[in-house]
Copies of this chain bind each other. A is one copy, B any other.
Amino acid sequence: MTKPCILCCAITGSVPTKANNPAVPTTIAEQVESSLAAIEAGASIIHAHVRNEDETPSSDPEKFARLQEELRKHAPEAILQFSTGGRSGAGHERGGMLSLRPDMASLSVGSNNFPTRVYENSPDLVAWLASEMVKYEITPEIEAFDLSHILQAIRLHSEGTLFGKLYVQFVMGVKNAMPADKEVFDYYVQMMKSRAPNAEWCAAGIGPNQIVVNEWAIAAGGHTRA
The answer to the question of A161 belonging to the interface, with a C-beta cut-off of 8 Å to chain B, is no
Known: A117-B123, A118-B122, A147-B184. A110 touches B110 (CB 8 A): no
Within 8 A of B (CB), among A171-202: 176-179, 181, 184, 187
Q: How many copies does the complex hold?
A: 2
The answer to the question of A30 belonging to the interface, with a C-beta cut-off of 8 Å to chain B, is no
A17 surroundings in chain B (CB, below 8 A): none
A122 surroundings in chain B (CB, below 8 A): 113, 116-118
**A147 nearest CB neighbor, chain B only:** B147
A28-46 vs B, CB cutoff 8 Å, 1 = contact: the mask equals 0000000000000000000
| Most chain B CB atoms below 10 A, which of A121, A122, A148, A178 | A148
State whether A123 touches B178 (Cβ < 8 A).
no
Measured in the bound complex, the distance between the Cα atoms of B112 and A123 in whole Å is 10
The answer to the question of A99 belonging to the interface, with a C-beta cut-off of 8 Å to chain B, is no
The 8 Å CB contact of A145, one of B116, B148, B179, B187, is B148
Known: A110-B113, A113-B110, A187-B187. A178 touches B147 (CB 8 A): yes
